Each structure stands twice: as C-alpha cells, then as structure tokens.
Amino acid sequence: MAQEKQVKQEKQVKQVPAKDVEDVAGTEVAKEKSNRFEGLFPTWVKTIGLVAPASASVTVRVDKAIDLLQKAGYKVKVGAHAREGENQGYFSIEAEKRLADLEAMWMDPDVDLILCIRGGRGSEDLVDKLDWEKLRKRDMIVLGYSNITGLHCAMLKKGVGHPVTGPSLVTLLGVDKPSRTWFRKMLDGEPTPGVRLTPLRAGTCEGLPAGGLLSLLQKMSERNWLPSWKDRIVFIESPRRTVDIMEPLLDSLVEAHAFDGCAGVVFGTFPCKSTPEEILAMQKRFTEKVTCPVFCGFHYGHTKDNYLIDFRRKVTIDSHHIIRFP
C-alpha cells in the first residue's frame, strides 16, 4: 500500500519541456485582451526602477513590458545603461555601467522597487565592487531571478537590501495568471494559498527562504559569497541542463556543507534536457546526502508557473506536505 502511494506521488512530479518562458512571452500577451500588469503590484508601489545587473534582453519585449507597466498606471525609471546590448543573447555590458545603474536606482528616493529586466549572465561580477555601506542606508527591494541569484546571495550575505526572487520584467510577459496572483499577494504580505509538494523525505519545517538558480548558488559558494542557510528553507531551480551537469553542482554544495543546519530543501521546476525520471532520480540521490526534509514540485523557475519568493517571509511546510507563506 505504501509502495503504491509512493508511485502515485512520483507520477505527480511534473517536468516541462526545456524552453525558457521568455521564448513564449510575446505569444502569451498577444492572446490577452486586458493588461496583465493591471494591479500587479501593491498600492505602495508607484515608481518601478528597471536595471539589468546581468544581461540585456530583447528590445521588442522590453518595449512591450514598459508600455504595459505605464498603461497600468506605474511610473517607470530605466537605468542609464540598462538597455545597452539588447538583442545579443547572453551578452553583458561593462560591469562598471551595470554597477552604476544599480547603485543609482537603489539610492533614488523616488523608486519604490527595483525590477531586474532579465537574468542572463554577470550579476555575480558586481558583488565585489558594490558600495555595500552606501546601499545599507536604504532598504530596497531587488526583484529578479535566474542569474540575479548571484546578487541576492550577496545581499543576504551582507544583510543589505531586501532580496525577492521571482519573475523579472520580461518574464512577467509570459507567466500564467496564478503566478501573477501569487506575485501580488507575496509582495503585499498577504497569506498565500497552500501548494501541495511531493515529499522526497517527509517532515514538517518552517523558516525564512533562501536559494535560487543552482549554477549560481554553486558559483557563489566557490567565491565565498553564499549566505548561511542555517534554519532556512532552500529553494533550488535549474533550466536547460542535464543531470550529469546538475548533480556535480549539488554535490559541490553538499561537500561545502551549505545544507548543514538548513530547515528543508524544496526543488522548483527543472525544464531540462534530461527526462523527468532522470531528474527525480537525481533529487532522490541528493536527499540521501542531507538530513533535512526534502520536497519537489514547487512552482518556481524558468516556466510559466513561476511563483515569487520573498526572502523575508516565513515559509511553512506541514505534515500534509502543504507549503504556505502565512
């Protein structure tokens, strides 16, 4: 009976095709008659600052997203260099320009929230150069995901600013309606609906969240920029990679004792080149190497169902494997 229950749970683990949500953003918006950004942010957000701490995006997507934000009633400020290097894939402009944009937007008294235009590559190049003592004077929300994990790790390590991981500007063009509803609730401090996870090692846990993109977590660990995960619930996502690449990254974090003392681990979405069965097997092998509860199946990552995670909001997982941000 227990074996049948386990098989049923494993069938619930859903992996999606290896396709970045940005690739379908334009199509999603074209199908909608209403503005998907209407009421997306809490009422206290009047002015949104846009920066590109990593790579630039695609001009048509950025234009569309800014237009929707403005039509939804938000004021938008764009970093002086944030749109340089568009339409060049993972190309990143000089770190000094990205650094200047981020610090200027952070300290701008008119800006209520910083929204990263996209991830890409390069946010990790900024962390040694940022003026952390200057930034400490303003408790700014920095919202983004994927490569922005590098910046978020440093913010947590330094105890500076308010990191929030979730859809970036262009990603918001493609995420689904439940993700947008969750986005608003999370930013506004409202309780979120419960989401049933699949247990790999069952157990109840609670704590503040941490985590992000697997490859950046491992890179920040190597550079001694990974924050302590003691008593935290760690969320991990990864796109477009195979198990033979991802598993050594997880093993490296285990060997670095990154998971020692953490309250739990939650795997998000893995729209990868490996099969769902291979990914689940990798996650099970990882579970045997740590001692905390481990779950999979949370809607977080490079897919249309991409739920925002505020690193300052407590998360709980109960005995029924339901995760909530109360």
SS3 assignment, position 144: strand
The CATH number of the structural domain formed by 2-19+191-324 is 3.50.30.60
- Strand (E) or helix (H) holding 96: helix 95-107
**166 secondary structure, DSSP code:** S
pLDDT at 32: 60
Tell me what pLDDT residue 33 has: 60
- Residue 31 has a pLDDT of 56
Once rounded to an integer, what is the mean pLDDT over residues 52-64?
94
3-class secondary structure, 46: coil
pLDDT band at 90 (very low <50, low <70, confident <90, very high): confident
Mean pLDDT, rounded, for 144-165: 98
CB of 55 within 8 A of CB of 121?
A: yes
Q: How far apart are CA 33 and CA 22, in angstroms?
A: 20
Least confidently predicted of 42-46, 108-112, 270-274: 270-274
Torsion angle defined by CA atoms of residues 292, 2, 272 and 115, in that order, rounded to the nearest 10 degrees: -50
* Residue 187: closest CA among 113, 104, 290, 86: 113
Fold (topology level) of 22-188: Rossmann fold (3.40.50)
Residue 13 pLDDT: 38
pLDDT value, residue 89? 84
Is the pLDDT reported for residue 274 higher than 60?
yes
pLDDT at position 47 over 70: yes
Distance (Å, rounded) from C-alpha 187 to C-alpha 325? 11
Asked whether residue 2 carries a pLDDT value surpassing 50, the answer given is no
Q: What is the mean pLDDT of residues 75-100?
A: 93
CATH 3.50.30.60 in the chain is located at 2-19+191-324
Q: Which of 57-66, 77-86, 87-96, 160-169 has the lowest mean pLDDT?
A: 87-96
Assign 246 to helix, strand or coil. helix
> Taking the model in full, what pTM does it have?
0.90
Taking only the tens place, the pLDDT of each residue in 14-39 is 333 334 444 434 445 545 667 899 99
**3-class DSSP state of 13:** coil
pLDDT, mean over the chain:
91
- Which strands sit side by side in the sheet containing 322-324, from one edge to the other? 195-196, 322-324, 315-317, 205-207
Phi, psi of 234 (to 5 degrees): -100, 125
Stretch 143-151: mean pLDDT: 97
Every domain of the chain with CATH number 3.40.50.10740 lies at 22-188
* pLDDT range class, residue 88, cuts 50, 70, 90: confident
Residue whose pair of structure tokens reads 């045997």 in the numeric block:
288
**Segment 47-61 mean pLDDT:** 95
Helix (H) or strand (E) holding 115: strand 113-116
Distances in whole angstroms, Cα of residue 225 to Cα of each of 154, 160, 241, 245:
6, 13, 23, 22
% of the chain at pLDDT higher than 70: 90
Mean pLDDT along residues 173-185: 96
Ranges 8-22, 94-108, 173-187, 263-277: which has the least confidence: 8-22
Amino acid 119: pLDDT: 94
The DSSP output letter for 21 is G
What average pLDDT does this structure show over 306-326?
A: 98
pLDDT for res 269: 94
Instruction: Order the strands of the 198-201 sheet from edge to edge.
Output: 198-201, 294-296, 264-267, 233-237, 209-213
Tell me, what's the pLDDT at 312? 98
